[in-house]
Amino acid sequence: MSKVNRNFKASVFTHLFGEPAKELGLYNAFSPVQHPPDTPVVDLTLTDVLYKDRVNDLAFTVGMIAACFFEAQSTPNNNMALRFFVYGGRVYEKLIDNAEIYSEARIVIPTPEFYVLYNGIKPFPERAVYRLSDSFAVSADGMIPLQLVVTAYNINPGYNEGIVKKDENLYGYVVFVAKARKFEQSGMKRDGAVKAAVEECIKEGILAEYLEHNASEVINMLAQEWDWDRAMEINARDTERRVNAEWESLVADKDAEIADKDAEIVSKDAEIVSKDAEIVSKDAEIVSKDAEIVSKDAEIAALRAMLEKQV
Question: Residue 300: what pLDDT?
Answer: 84
Q: Report if residue 280 sits inside a domain.
A: no
Residue-wise pLDDT tens digits, 234-270: 455 555 566 666 777 777 778 788 888 888 888 888 8
Q: Report if residue 309 sits inside a domain.
A: no
Q: Report if residue 128 sits inside a domain.
A: yes
Residue of 114, 112, 107, 150 whose CA lies nearest to 132: 150
Q: Report if residue 269 sits inside a domain.
A: no
Lowest-pLDDT choice from 4-8, 190-194, 303-307: 4-8
Q: Report if residue 37 sits inside a domain.
A: yes
Q: Report if residue 297 sits inside a domain.
A: no
Query: Would you say 4 and 161 are in contact if contact means Cβ atoms under 8 Å apart?
Result: no
Residue-wise pLDDT tens digits, 78-104: 999 999 999 999 999 989 888 788 888
Residue-wise pLDDT tens digits, 188-205: 888 888 899 999 999 999
Q: Report if residue 247 sits inside a domain.
A: yes
Give 32's DSSP letter: S
Regarding predicted confidence, which is higher, 55 or 39?
39
Range of the domain at 35: 6-134+146-255
**Beta strands 149-154 and 111-118, pairing class:** parallel
Question: How large a percentage of the chain has pLDDT more than 70?
Answer: 86
Q: Report if residue 176 sits inside a domain.
A: yes
Q: Report how many domains make up the chain.
A: 1
